[in-house]
Structure 1
C-alpha cells in the first residue's frame, strides 16, 4: 500500500493541502457511506476532525458530513440525501471555511507543542480540536508563575516569525532517526507504518503527523491561551483559541 492510498481511495489532501475541488468515480454507495476512487476529504485523526463538503452529480447535491475509516474511506452522506449510484462521476467540494480553520488550528497546536517542549521540556499526553479552538495536554508537574502569559507570548512570537511549515514523507527508519520526532508521551505511529509523514515548523517543531496544515506560522493568526487546567498530578491541559 502506498502512503497516499487508503483501501481503494487515493488521498489527494496528503499531497495538496489546499485542494478543495476534485472529480471522482463512485466505487461503492450506500446510505452509510460512499466510496470514491480519489478524495481530498481529510478523514480525521490526530485530534483533527474529518472534513465536510458536498458531492455534485447529475444536477443533484449530496452533503458529506463526515468520513468513516475502514478497509476503505467511506464519505458519510447527510441523512435522507440522495446517494450517487456506483459508476457515477461526481464533482466534490470540501467545505473551505471549515478546512482552512482546522488547518490554522492544527498548525497552532504544533506551535504550542513546540513552545512548551522547547521552553519547559514537556511531552504531549492528549489533544483535540474544533475549528479555531483546541486543547492540548502535557506532562507538566508544576505550573510556573506567569506560565499562561509566557506561553501565549511565545506562541505569538513564533506566529509573527512567519516560520515555514513543510510536509514530507520519510522511510520509518529515517524518520525515527530525527531527534525528538515523537512529541507525545506514547508513540502513536503503528509499527506496520513504514512511511512516516513529517510536519516541520522550520526552527521550532518537527514531528510525525497525518493532518493538514497552513504553509507558514503567520497564516495561523493570533493564538490565545484561554485556560490552564489541572488534569491530575503532573498533567496540565492548555486550551487555546485562534483568531485573525
Structure 2
C-alpha cells in the first residue's frame, strides 16, 4: 500500500478526489492525498475530508506518514474502505507554509554561499520561522547584510524547479545536503530536489512557491546564541508586492 503524494508534484494543488484504502480507528489512509503530513520543520496541512456528496465531512486534526502511507486522523467516525472522498486543505495556511519554506531555502543558500555554514535545525510556525546554523559570528552588521541579501534574492524572482534523481546521481552533487547531520533515510532510492535556479539546490520533501518573489520579503526579528558555534535566526515574512 502506497499513498500518491500529490503535493510532491504540484504544491498548488489544494483539493483532490481519492479512495479510502485503510481505516484504523479514526485514522484513514487514501490512495492519493494533497495533505502534507509535516516534516523537515514544516507544519502539517489542515483541512477537511468529505464524502457522500458533501453530506458527511470531518476535519483532519492530525497527519502522519508511516513508511509509504499518509494517515489522516479525523474528528468524526471515518467512512469505510472503498469510499470515494474529497480532501481539501486550508489553502491560506498551505500557501503561508510554501512562502515560509522557500524563504528558509533562500536564507540557507545565502549563508552557505557567503559563509559556508551548515544548518543544525529549523522550524516553521504560522507567523514566523527559525533556522539554526553552525557559525560563530552573527553580529548586527552581519545580520543586516544577510537580511539585505535574502531580500535581494527574493526580489530577483528566481524560478524554482522540483524534480527527483536516483540516489547515486543526487549524492554526486556537491553540498546537496546542507544539514550538519544527513537526515535522509539510508534506504531511500530516489531523492527529491528543490532548486532555486541560479541560487540554491537542496534535497527536500516540503512544499514551495514557483518564484522567489512570491515570498514577499523577510525581516530578521531576532538572533540567539544556542552554543559557541550554533546561532539561531528568527524571521517573519512581509507581504508580496501587488502589481
TM-score range, shorter chain: over 0.9
1:77 and 2:71 matched: no
Post-superposition shift, 1:130?
1.6
- What is the correspondence of 1:1-244 to structure 2 with a 5 Å cutoff? 7-58=1-52, 59-71=55-67, 72-78=69-75, 81-244=76-239
Q: Retained in 1: the 8 A contact 2:98–2:209?
A: yes
CA shift at 1:157, angstroms? 0.2
Alignment gaps of 5+ in structure 2? none
Q: Give a deviation string over 1:172-208, Cα, whole Å, max 9, x none.
A: 1111111211111111111111100011111111010
Q: 1:231 to 1:16 in 2, by over 3 A?
A: same
User: Match for residue 4 of structure 1?
Assistant: none
Task: Tell me if the contact between 1:31 and 1:77 (Cα under 8 Å) persists in the aligned partners.
Answer: no
In 1, the alpha carbon distance for the partners of 2:39 and 2:107 equals: 18
Paired residue secondary structure (2:158) = coil
Alpha-carbon distance between aligned partners in 2 of 1:188 and 1:232, rounded to the nearest angstrom: 21
TM-score, with normalisation over the residues of structure 1? 0.93
CA RMSD, 1 decimal: 1.2
Deviation beyond 6 Å, 4+ runs, structure 1: none
Q: How far off its partner does 1:145 sit?
A: 4.7
**In structure 2, what is the Cα distance between the partners aligned to 1:121 and 1:95?**
37
TM-score (norm: length of structure 2): 0.93
**Counterparts of 1:170 and 1:70 in 2: how far apart (Å)?**
22
Give yes or no for contact 1:104–1:132 (8 Å, CA) kept in 2.
no
